[in-house]
Amino acid sequence: MKIRAAVLERFGAPLEVQELDLAEPSAGEVLVRLVACGVCHTDLYTASGADPSGYAPTVLGHEGAGVVERVGDGVTSLAEGDHVVTLFSPQCRECVHCLSPRTNLCLAIREQQGQGHLPDGTTRLSRDGEPVRHFMGTSTFAEYTVMPEIALAKVNPEAPLEGACLFACGLSTGLGAAMKTAAVEPGSTCIVFGAGMVGLGAVAGCRLQGAARIICVDLSEDRLELAKGQGATETMLGGPDAVERILELTGGFGADYTFEATGNVAVMRQAVESARMGWGLCTVAGVAGKGETLEIVPRFLITGRRVAGSSFGGIKGREEVPQLVDRWLAGEIDVEPFLSHRLTLDQVNEGFELMEAQDGIRSVISFD
C-alpha cells in the first residue's frame, strides 16, 4: 500500500514528507494505522547525525499510538481494531531477560532492530523498489507502520490515543524509573533533576509510590510549575551549587532516591552526590553525549550510595504500559499538561523546532 511518511534523507536536513510503499505484515507482524505520535529528542538526535548508530534513509518516529488494521500469520495476541501503543523496547516473554523480573531489556530482536530491519532481516518500507529502513523498530512518523507483534502494547480502547502515545517513551520512562527501577518506598524523600517529559514522569511516579517529599530541580521556572502539578512538594533552580542546597534542605544527608533526567553528565554527578549515605539510590535515565563519562568519587559508593541506570523505566512494555494507561484513565496520572502542541505530519519539522526552543513538553502529531 501507499503511505505518507516523514523520511530522513540526509543527516542534518529537514525530514521530507513523501509517499512510500508499505508491504503487508509477514508472520508475527502487525499493520498499525497511526492516530497520534509524539516528537521526541531521540528522533532529533538521529536526524541531526549525532547518533553514531544512525542511518538514512529511514522513517523516524517512535512515540506512536494507533489501531490494528491487519495481522500477519501466527499473531495471536492482537486483532483488527485493537488500540496499541508502539514499543521501541519489545517484550517477547521468552528470552532470558523477559523471563527475569530484574530487567526489561528483551533480547529477541535487538540486532535486527538496531540495523533498521524487522525480525526477519528485511524491511516492509520501500521506495521505487529500494528498501527504506525502519527506525527503532517503530517508524511512526507515518500514516501506517508494520511492527512485530512483540513490540505492541494493547491498551484500553477508552484511552484517547493522543495521550496514550506519550506512554510509548518519555512518560513511561519517568514513571517507571520511580516505580520500577527505584521502586520508591512510601514516606521517602526524592529529588528529580530535570522537568522535561522524563523528569515530570518521575515526579508523578514518586507521588504514586507515596513519597513524602519530592524536590524537583530544573533551570526553567515554567517547567518547575508543571512539576508542582505532577506532585513535586518543593522546587529548586539548578546550578553548580545544587548539591549543597539539597543537603541543606535534607538535614545534611541528601535524599533516599534521586533521579537524573537531563542527559547532562555534570547533573548525573549531582544526582549521585545528593543521594543519602547508607542507602541513597541514584537512578540515571538521561542519555549522555557520545564519549561522555560520569565522574563519581568512590567514597560516595563505599558509604552506601548506589547508582542504577534505567532504560524505558525498566517497564516491560506489553504487560506494564497497559497498566500505566489504566492508572491514567483512573485519574491517577495527569497527561493533559504534557500535550503542548498538536501538529500535522507535514509540520513534523516544526515539532523539532519547538523542542529545540524548549517550547512546551511534547508536540504530538495527529493523523486524523
Ligand X SMILES: NC(=O)c1ccc[n+]([C@@H]2O[C@H](COP(=O)([O-])OP(=O)(O)OC[C@H]3O[C@@H](n4cnc5c(N)ncnc54)[C@H](O)[C@@H]3O)[C@@H](O)[C@H]2O)c1
Site string for ligand X, 220-249 (x = CB under 6 A): x--x--------------x-----------
Is 62 known to be catalytic? yes
Nearest to 201 by CA among 63, 76, 318: 63
Give the CA dihedral 244, 309, 265, 257, nearest 10 degrees. Answer: -10
Give the SS3 label for residue 157: coil
* Closest of 358, 366, 367, 35 to residue 197, by C-alpha: 358
How is 61-109 classified by DSSP, letter by letter? --EEEEEEEEE-TT--S--TT-EEEE-SS---S-SHHHHSTT-----TT
Q: How far is the CB of 146 from Zn ion (least distance, A)?
A: 20
- Catalytic residue from among 62, 117, 223, 305: 62
> One of 93, 110, 133, 341 is an active-site residue; which one?
110
* Beta strands, E only, the chain: 2-8, 16-22, 29-38, 58-59, 63-71, 83-86, 125-127, 130-131, 133-134, 144-148, 152-154, 189-193, 213-218, 234-237, 257-260, 281-284, 306-309, 339-343, 362-366
C-alpha cell at 44: 532529533
Measured distance CA(189)–CA(213) in Å, rounded: 5
Task: Please pick, from the candidates 217, 315, 333, 335, the single residue that binds ligand X as defined by CB under 6 A.
Answer: 217
The binder of 132, among Zn ion, ligand X, none, by C-beta within 5 to 8 A per type, is none
List 37, 106, 165, 282, catalytic entry: 106
3-state secondary structure of 197: helix
Annotated catalytic residue 92 = yes
Q: DSSP labels for 337-352?
A: GGEEEEE-GGGHHHHH
Beta strands in 140-297 (DSSP E): 144-148, 152-154, 189-193, 213-218, 234-237, 257-260, 281-284
In this chain, which of 68, 118, 166, 267 binds ligand X, going by CB under 6 A? 267
Q: Which amino acid is at 34?
A: L
The grid cell for 69 is 488494521
Cell 510509548 belongs to which residue? 168
Return the number of the residue (125 or 197) whose C-beta is nearest Zn ion: 197
Give the binding range for ligand X (CB under 6 A) out of 5-13, 62-70, 219-227, 320-328: 219-227
Which of ligand X, Zn ion, none interacts with 139 (beta carbon under 5 to 8 A by kind)? Answer: none
Which three three-digit cell numbers place residue 180?
520500577
Catalytic site includes residue 162: no
Rank residues 41 and 276 by Cβ distance to ligand X and give the closer one: 41
Among residues 17, 67, 78, 95, which is the contact residue for Zn ion, using CB under 5 A?
Answer: 95
In the residue annotation, 110 being an active-site residue is answered as: yes
Residues 157-196 that bind Zn ion (CB under 5 A): 169
**Chain residues 64-93 in contact with Zn ion, contact rule CB under 5 A:** 92
Stretch that binds Zn ion, among 8-16, 104-112, 230-238, 306-314 (CB under 5 A): 104-112
Binding residues for ligand X, total number by CB under 6 A: 28
Told to check if 3 binds Zn ion by CB under 5 A, we report: no
Is 261 or 321 the residue whose CB approaches ligand X more closely?
261
- Applying CB under 6 A, the span of 138-146, 147-155, 190-198, 299-307 interacting with ligand X comes to 190-198
Q: Does 196 bind ligand X (CB under 6 A)?
A: yes
Exactly one of 162, 218, 273, 320 binds ligand X (CB under 6 A); that residue is 218
**Nearest residue (CB) to Zn ion, 168 versus 242:** 168
Q: Which of 8, 22, 42, 322 binds Zn ion (CB under 5 A)?
A: 42
How many angstroms separate the CA atoms of 190 and 182, rounded?
Answer: 10
Given the rule CB under 5 A, which residues bind Zn ion? 40, 42, 92, 95, 98, 106, 108, 169
Q: Which residues are annotated as catalytic?
A: 40-42, 62-63, 92, 95, 98, 106, 110, 169, 362
Residues that bind ligand X (CB under 6 A): 41, 169-170, 173, 193-199, 217-220, 223, 238, 261-264, 267, 285-287, 310-312
